[in-house]
Chains A and B, each alone.
Chain A
Amino acid sequence: MTQDSSGSGRVLVIGGGIAGLTSALQLARSGQAVDLVERDTVLGGHAMLFTCKATDRCQKCTVCMVNDRIREILDEPLVRVRTGQEVVGVERADGRFQVRLKSAGAPVDAAKCIACGLCTEECPTTPEPSISLASDQGMPRVYRVSEETCLVYLGKECERCVAVCPTEAIAFGREREIAEETYGGIIVATGYRPFAAERLTQYGYRHFPDVITGLDLEMRLRREGRLTRPSDGSVPKRVAFIQCVGSRDVKHNRYCSRVCCAYAVRCANKLSYLEPESEIAIFYMDLQAFGKDFAGWRDRLRGRVRLVRSHPAFIEMAPEGGLRLAYESVETNQIDREPFDLIVLSVGLCPGSDTAGLAEMLGIGLDEDGFLLARAREAGGRSKGEGRGGLGPDETLTQVPGLFLAGTCQGPRDIAGSIGHASAAAGAMLHHLRGSQLVTVEERDDDARG
């Protein structure tokens, strides 16, 4: 540890998803010491659940960058990774932040766990062991106990894993410790929540097993390497994607989530590559082509993936079994109830479920869609207004000096967009710290030498 552990010169990054990782890494590379706090036991956030969408060539989905960033973070001496902890209180005084951190009290100590797997072998619960690797590809590689199935949580005698662990990393009934730290600045990178598809009951998500969300699709593809149907494990021959599920919908989220068109097109492309015989259709209102080469993807789908301009009305079970999708093709005025084996709901991005509480704790507002409120940089003494509407894509400032936003906590963006935003947040933080008296260049150089 190169920095003083009292932490007054450190920066806190809240959230270990792609945005938080990026901000932390950028700051560390500039010589700034960082604490990266993540509530989960592993880093990577939602992006860790996504699949690589390469066919015979890279589709530039940037999912792989997440793994790279995690590895770099874990090797970065200026970053102290605090997984399994969350921020429960923030006070601002003299330009510094007094932060209270609470550990989740997880039985496995991430710092001691060497991921040897002995505990999983020893665990008596069936069919699944109650202690296992938190995420097959997640990092740090650490084991996690399921509170639903573990005998100890069920009030029974066991603790066989505790006995077998060679590094004494496991202990039940750990105190939920509270730590107090002082930071010179905070970057909030708490991410998003996927839209709850069951709210659009006409699509029958959780009612029909073969209606899944875009996130479900990503996870299935990542886990299995190919797509199978949840109902019977067969490979679906006819797959439909429904775009704008919960997005651009005034009853749910009126905004465009900006990521769904791209992930649906890339997934459709990948599915068509994996199963060339399959029939794939994307039902869209209009394809929102962000990014300079996105329009090209559409052309590359031609002949393999059917694009239907329509927002489907509902999904039903045919009397003879199998899903049917009811829609009107707006281009032909024809209505249809077309059979599909699997239907993917392209859900968008919503503010994280605890965003309102977080905003209150941090003393910043929410925008009208419920994301954390960014403040426009004042130009020529005139404020450009608040919210996402009039802001450039890189806006990271808040009402609180020293507090910056990174990634999807501030509004929908894709991985590349989050990386860009998080880098901008790191830059804004450096700018802020230079203006404050916390860390001088001499001190830092001294530190680095020391």
Chain B
Amino acid sequence: MEITELDPTFKFDVTREPGGEQLMRCFACGTCTASCPVREIDEKFNPRRIIRMVLLGMREEVLSSQFIWLCSTCYACQERCPQDVRITELMSAIKNLAVKEGHLPAAYKMQLELIRNMGRLYEIDEFDNKKRSKAGLPELESTNEDVKKIFVMTGADRLIGGEEGGGE
């Protein structure tokens, strides 16, 4: 790629996101990648390489990629990183930035909708509550107004098209 395509401000934008604070400490030792259970299965996810790409300014390649969504948040890398880069949190920072720049994967859009509409990831309907009663468990509510307010306050409702609905 051409050097003119690199964005030197990319690393600062990542650093500003919560969790991205320690990005620039990385000295590329590879501890993260060798710890990573996802990399073990598929080489398209390589945390050391992702960090290098961010530091080099490969904004589009990183933010529009599939691979940034592959971190399983196991924290193996973060625990062992000698520079305390807090890699798991850094991956979260990169993903949040990707979302801000319009790259929200469908799977997460659906999860946002579910949580906004019901206050929880899995719907509890009457049938579920019946099963719970039968097992001697207390019934649970299937919606949460505070959660809806939090989505409005933080702007997350805009990621899923504003007002309630579209949970399918």
Contacts and interface: CB of A to CB of B under 8 A. Distances in A.
Direct contact of A and B (CB under 8 A): yes
B49 A333 contact: yes
Most buried by A among B27, B29, B76: B29
Nearest to A327: B34
B129 interface: no
SS class of chain B's interface: helix, strand, loop or mixed? helix
Contacts of B25: 250
A12 to B, nearest CB: 39
Given A326-B35, A330-B28, A335-B34, A313 B80 contact: yes
Contacts of B48: 328, 330
Contacts of A314: 34-35, 80
B34 A310 contact: yes
B80 A335 contact: no
B82 interface: yes
A377 to B, nearest CB: 33
A312 B46 CA distance: 15
B27 A285 contact: yes
Interface string A197-240: 00000100000000000000000000000000000000000000
A244 interface: yes
Contacts, number: 60
B83 interface: yes
B168 interface: no
Interface in A298-356: 310-314, 326-330, 333, 335
Interface residues of B, number: 23
Interface residues of A, number: 20
A79 to B, nearest CB: 43
A293 B43 CA distance: 40
Nearest to B40: A335
B80 A202 contact: yes
Given A327-B34, A333-B46, A310 B29 contact: yes
Interface in A151-197: none
Contacts of A310: 29-30, 34
Contacts of A285: 27, 29
B120 interface: no
B84 A329 contact: no
B33 interface: yes
Contacts of B83: 249-250
Interface string B100-127: 0000000000000000000000000000
Contact of A313 (B27, B28, B35, B84): B35
Contact of B30 (A251, A252, A311): A311
Contacts of B27: 248, 285
A434 to B, nearest CB: 47
Contacts of B148: none
14 contacts: A244-B82, A248-B82, A250-B84, A312-B34, A313-B30, A313-B31, A313-B32, A313-B76, A314-B35, A328-B30, A328-B31, A329-B30, A330-B29, A335-B33
Interface of B: 25, 27-35, 39-40, 43, 46, 48-49, 76-77, 79-80, 82-84
- Return the 9 tightest CB-CB contacts between A and B, nearest first: A311-B29, A313-B34, A328-B30, A249-B82, A313-B35, A328-B33, A328-B34, A330-B30, A327-B34
Given A250-B82, A251-B84, 9 more contacts: A248-B82, A249-B82, A313-B80, A328-B33, A328-B48, A330-B28, A330-B29, A330-B30, A330-B48
